Structure 1
Amino acid sequence: MKIVYVITRSDVIGGASVHLLDLALGSSKAGHSVDILVGGEGVFNSRARDLGLSCYSLKYLVREISPGKDIRAFFELRAMLSKLKPDLVHLHSSKAGILGRLAAKSLGLPAIFTAHGWAFTEGVSEKRRFVYRNIERIMARFSDQILTVSEFDRQLALKAKVGDEDTVLTIHNGMPEVCSNRVGFTESDQIRLIMVARFEVPKNQKFLLEALAKVEAKNWELELVGDGPSLANARKLAAQLGISEKVVFSGACDDVPIRLSRSDIFVLISDWEGLPLTILEAMRSGLAVIASNVGGVSELVANGDNGFVVERGDQQGLIDALTQLIKSAELRKKQGISGQYRYRTNFTFDIMLDKILKIYQKVLDRTK
């Protein structure tokens, strides 16, 4: 099978980027021919080539809405697909999903779109939800299959009349095993919290910092891994709250599994989500998780079992969850073990890859 993957951004490595690279590599190892098309030339391209994957840069595919560039991007995508002659095209991220489906269908190629969280999800402005909901309703007609990474997103699509029960299917994200999983649980007095996320919407490091400043227990330290446009403001806020000496800003890192293995609690505070890969990484590492109850998060974190889910905007709820886990080594260990079991039972990469490759074959059989 010859597969072309398409994603919009090359300048960052986010959840969708990691998912696509894992999937492309897994498909390649399974014996399929794989090419990747991505907007621009950045860290994504380097990572793909380091993995031995064929990756082409697209000059005009950009995240921002730009009618002139978007028209050029459509024809650029169409030309590349015509040249590569894939059996099917698998699209990731909103802009690539729109232009790529149009380009694929104009050539009679099967098109599969994965929604890594809808642009019309809860937490997004009503105006933006209205616009993207209607765009995705139209684009569903150009989709041979739509995959959502959470059942939350599938139900959101069906409620919005984006596709139907047969077109929209849920395949939860999965993560490969790594060798740096936790091998024990420390009972140190200094509790190490970690959040791995870019400093931009929908992530909300500000909310976490404000809650931590009000936690009565002070035997904690926080590592914030990631970069982005709101990083400078977060540094300033930590200083204003008087907790800067307890917060480490590590920037973008390529050794996240090792950093997770040295931590005690994983936190992810967001205004909206799809199905966060970073939570899966934390579960894989045996960490208790505190996360915002948005998107498909509750499909990963069973409240009170392998962590705590906190309602968006509930500062006291976040303070309470942080306090419980900071104070109890026994609870951290219990929830961490439970999370690791949930990961290995339901969210491994091999489980996800097997389901997606079966979808590819079904789509090809249907469209012959």
Structure 2
Amino acid sequence: MHVMGGGDVGGAKTQIMNTVTGLARRNDVMLLSFRAGPFADEARERGIDVRVIERHNPFRAARAMRDLVDEFEPDIIHCHGGRANLMGAMVRRTRRVPVLTTVHSDYKLDYMGNPFKQHTFGTANAVALRFLDFYQPVADRMARTLIERGFDPERIVKIYNGMEFKRPEGALDRAQYLRETFGAEIAEGDVLCGIAARLTAVKDIATTVRGFAAALKEAPQLRLFIAGEGEDEEMLRRLCTQLGVAERVTFCGWVAPVEPFFRAMDINLLSSVSETFPYSILEGICAGCATICSDVGGMPELIDTGENGYIFPVGDDKQLARYMVRLANDAAQRQAFAEALYQKASRDFSKDKMCERQEANYRHVLARFHRPKEERESIVICGAYGRGNAGDDAILEAIVREMRALAPERTICVMSRRPKETRLNYRTGAVYTFNVLSVLRRFRRAALYINGGGSLMQDVTSTRSIWYYCYTLHAAKKRGCKVMMYGCGIGPINRMGNRKMAARTIDRSVDRITLRDDNSRALLAEMGVTRPDIRVSADPTIILDPAPQEIVRLALEQSGIDPDGRYIGFGLRNWPGLDGALPEIAAAAEYAYRRHGLTPVFVPIEFPSDLTPAERVGALLSCPWHAVRTRLPIETTIGILARMQTVVGIRLHSLMFSAGQGVPVVGMSYDIKVDGFLKYIGSRTCLQLRSVRADELCRLIDECVSGALDGEVCRTAEMLREREQENVRGAAKLLGIEN
């Protein structure tokens, strides 16, 4: 049963209509509307069972809706919009049917510019949302917004808008269409930019106008067509006059149908402050437009910046202008972007694909809703998470990704130092690592406990940590969990008492161990661990891919680094013995610049602590150097390291990320885990941190830059990815899943 207010317009209306008509091919669908009118009439004409309840009293409307629920007996109630959410929340109290709502837009911005509606209808919707069972945001960005506002990530399933992607038939005389429809005359060679949106604050058309005015200085052939109506129209007309571009801007008013409008355009623009997955972009793609849009909603999932379109930061009219100039002056790129984006959108965001995702979401919701309370179903993951270390964050990202692919209907809970941040970044449940009572409660419902990645079993940082991690292994096993140590490293464990305790706990409590290097296996054998099933695999982070090239380029530019330069990367960390090595590292960096033309770039893995050794080396350099001074997403960090000619690392994950991308590495070992990794991949390029000498570093840099190791490095990357799958096979076996 789909429930809607009945006055829905724009993208929400299109999405609801596409969904109900698509689902009706294979399912019994009832559409309940609280208003008669064109929407209900159109759905009825398309063969949908439409019921209309016109009751101003919400209690009477809810009573009528309950009667329809009893008559239709739906498996799921699917709400769209504020009034539908309110009715769904009222019916949910007395009917055991899961209620799902699609969040088409940011409910706090739905009535932006209208304080009365914002504080009445908007508040009622915000309250009703808290009383529903599941939430279906349109695209990932809206999911993030809901989690930030305290919604449970385990009750969120995503959807993406879809439409029929059919190339328009026949030719369009765009000059005639624009003249006859809008009274606009265009000249040969004009490049037309179009934006179709309501002229309201949330659409931020002013940014489009300012960007257009700036772009016009370098690309005078540009024209701007604004299709839409709204309260901001007079303000926008005044802005065009103030910027001196009124003669090149045409206000088209409300445009219907919108297809010929987009067919007449060369570039489709969007500058909204908030969106989910706007249909105006999909319609422009279908019509063959190149696309530039603000970084909102699911646009990053649709558009690969620099490959099939451009995404600019919200409100950044200067970046918008730069992208407009690029496309205005390059017809071939416009055509290439338009074709590439059409191919991707028609493959991944069609109406049929949307309906497939919707049915999959329904199955997921129903399985969760009707799961027996006594069933063990969750996966608990423990590690050194929530401390700002990119290596540990990458481990968690990889494990969560693999568990979701392996068992998508199972919930995941992460033990984290910053549970709120973890819920937001990884869309999982989370508890504070040392909240023992909460952890034990999670163990009672867990099917699998993963002691996840990294080197948790060591006593170099502290004895307390190894005792705590061993306690969690014991407690999880005692409460009935299957227990796995996942893609981890072991040691060093220096104290004999810690060794005995760890060996005894692992032998008694762990079912399966996958290790990221042979040294760890040898240490377990030395400790006398024999009972668990032990396999050698690889670090989980090997599966992570770099961010798209244009995203990496932008990150480099923001750090003041020329994306087209040649660089040697350094991944440093503070550690005893570093002071003596700093002059040697600086001398090697200077050598790489003078001999090979490689500018040093310092890439922090743990931010901001890794910037301190970077600054200390930089102070010793006379050559140019750069440092990445902002915290970046893991994929972007990997992408930056992948751009290096070679990487010199103390940080283990600077070496792992680089080797996984086929970049030659030089290791400076401070710990057996670095030795173990480099030995595992067969690398000869490893020095001990305490005895680093510039001449040895320079020799190894020469070998890496020469290309002599390229084939070996590529084979290593393939080997690591293949072996990493042993981690997944181990988890699948413990969960009883054929993989």
TM-score (norm 2): 0.43
Q: 1:119 to 1:303 in 2, by over 3 A?
A: same
Residue aligning to 1:37: 32
Gap change, CA 1:317 and 1:112, over 3 Å in 2? same
Residues 257 and 90 (structure 1), Cα distance of their counterparts in 2 relative to 1, 3 Å cut: same
Q: Which residue of 1 aligns with 2:505?
A: none
Residue equivalent to 1:100 = 88
What amino acid sits opposite 1:6 in the alignment?
Answer: V
Counterpart mapping for 1:1-368 below 5 A:
4-10=1-7, 12-30=8-26, 32-60=27-55, 70-71=58-59, 73-119=61-107, 139-140=129-130, 142-143=132-133, 145-165=134-154, 167-180=155-168, 189-214=189-214, 215-216=216-217, 217-239=219-241, 241-364=243-366
| Distance across 2 between alignment mates of 1:336 and 1:179 | 12
Per the alignment, do residues 286 and 147 of structure 1 end up closer, same or farther by CA in structure 2, a change over 3 Å counting? same
* Whole-Å separation in 1 of the counterparts to 2:222 and 2:131: 51
The verdict on how the C-alpha distance between 1:196 and 1:52 changes in structure 2, with shifts beyond 3 A counting, is: farther
For residues 15-54 of structure 1, what are the alpha-carbon distances to aligned partners after superposition, in whole Å with 9 as ceiling and x for unaligned? 1110000011111123x23222234344423433443434
What's the offset of the Cα at 1:276? 1.4
Gap change, CA 1:249 and 1:82, over 3 Å in 2: farther
Which digits, 9 at most, give the CA deviation of each residue in 1:166-193, with x for residues without a partner? x212222222223417999x99511111
Q: Secondary structure at the match of 1:330?
A: helix
**CA-CA distance at 1:140 after TM superposition:** 5.0
Distance 1:90 1:208 in 2: 35
Distance between the aligned counterparts of 1:25 and 1:220, measured in 2? Answer: 40
* Residues 222 and 246, structure 1, Cα contact 8 Å, conserved in 2: yes
- Where 1:101 maps in the other structure, the secondary structure is helix
Report sequence identity in percent: 23
Q: 1:225 to 1:135 in 2, by over 3 A?
A: closer
Alpha-carbon distance in structure 2 between the residues aligned to 1:304 and 1:137: 41
Q: Which structure 2 residue ranges, 5 or more long, are not aligned?
A: 175-186, 371-739
| Residue correspondences, number | 351
Q: Aligned partners of 2:128 and 2:330: how far apart in 1?
A: 51
Taking the aligned partners of 2:148 and 2:122, their CA distance within structure 1 comes to 14
Name stretches of at least 5 consecutive residues in structure 1 with no aligned partner: 62-68
1:137, 1:162 within 8 Å by CA — same for their partners in 2? no
User: Relative to 1, partners in 2 of residues 1:106 and 1:25: Cα closer, same or farther, differing over 3 Å?
Assistant: same
CA distance in 2, matches of 1:231, 1:84: 46
Structure 2 residue matching 1:254: 3-state secondary structure: coil
Asked if the contact 2:141–2:296 (Cα under 8 Å) also holds between the matched residues in 1, the reply is no
Shift of 1:9: 4.6
Root-mean-square deviation (CA, aligned residues, Å) is 3.5
- Is residue 7–residue 17 contact of structure 1 (8 Å, CA) maintained in 2? no
> 2:53 & 2:297 partners in 1: Cα distance?
31
Q: What is the rounded CA distance, in whole Å, between the counterparts of 1:251 and 1:81 in structure 2?
A: 41
Deviation at 1:203, TM superposition (A): 1.0
SS of corresponding position for 1:272: coil
Instruction: Give the residue type in structure 2 aligned to 1:154.
Output: A
SS in structure 2 at match of 1:350: helix
Distance 1:55 1:224, change over 3 A: farther
Contact 1:174–1:349 (CA under 8 A) maintained in structure 2: yes
Which structure has the higher relative contact order (CA within 8 Å, separation 6+)?
1
CA contact (8 A) 1:13 1:43 kept: no
Q: Which deviates more from structure 2 when the two are superposed, residues 339-348 or residues 205-214?
A: 205-214
Distance 1:201 1:78, change over 3 A: farther
Change (3 A) 1:59 1:345: same
Per the alignment, residue 64 of structure 1 pairs with: none
Which whole-Å CA distance do the structure 1 matches of 2:280 and 2:315 have between them? 21
Contact 2:312 2:320 in 1 (8 A): yes
Structure 1 window deviating more from structure 2 (280-289 vs 38-47): it is 38-47
* Greater Cα offset, 81-90 or 132-141: 132-141
Task: Please give the alpha-carbon distance, in whole angstroms, between the structure 2 residues aligned to 1:302 and 1:140.
Answer: 34
- Is the CA contact (8 Å cut-off) linking 2:207 and 2:316 kept in structure 1? no
Give the Cα–Cα distance (whole angstroms) in 2 for the partners of residues 319 and 359 of structure 1: 39
The structural deviation recorded for 1:97 is: 2.2
**Taking structure 1 as the reference length, what is the TM-score of the superposition?**
0.81
2:691 is aligned to none
Cα offset for 1:80? 4.3
What secondary structure, in the 3-state scheme, does the structure 2 residue paired with 1:102 have? helix
Deviation per CA, 1:273-292: give whole Å up to 9, x if none: 11212212222333221111
Distance 1:233 1:197 in 2: 15
* Residues 253 and 115 of structure 1, relative CA distance in 2, 3 Å threshold: same
Say if 1:342 and 1:182 are closer, same or farther in 2 by CA, change over 3 A: farther
Which stretch has the larger CA shift, 260-269 or 199-208?
199-208
Q: Greater Rg, structure 1 or structure 2?
A: 2
Post-superposition Cα deviations, 1:104-136, rounded to whole Å, max 9, x if no partner, equal 442222212111233258xx89x989x989986
Amino acid at match of 2:91: A
Q: Mark the CA change 1:98 to 1:201 in structure 2 (over 3 Å): closer, same or farther.
A: farther
Please tell me whether the aligned partners of residues 105 and 111 of structure 1 are also in contact (alpha carbons under 8 angstroms). no
CA distance in 1, matches of 2:87, 2:124: 15
User: Are the counterparts in 2 of residues 225 and 251 from structure 1 also a CA contact under 8 Å?
Assistant: yes
- Report the AA paired with residue 26 of structure 1: G
Give CA deviations for 1:129-150 in whole Å, capped at 9, x if unaligned: 9x9899869845531x322221
Q: CA contact under 8 A between 1:78 and 1:104: conserved in structure 2?
A: no
CA contact (8 A) 2:103 2:138 kept: yes
The 1:315–1:146 alpha-carbon spacing in structure 2 relative to 1, beyond 3 Å, is same
| CA separation of 1:94 and 1:41: change in aligned 2, threshold 3 A | same
Structure 1 runs of 4+ with >6 Å offset: 131-135, 181-184
CA contact (8 A) 1:104 1:110 kept: yes
- Aligned to 2:100, what secondary structure does the other structure show? strand
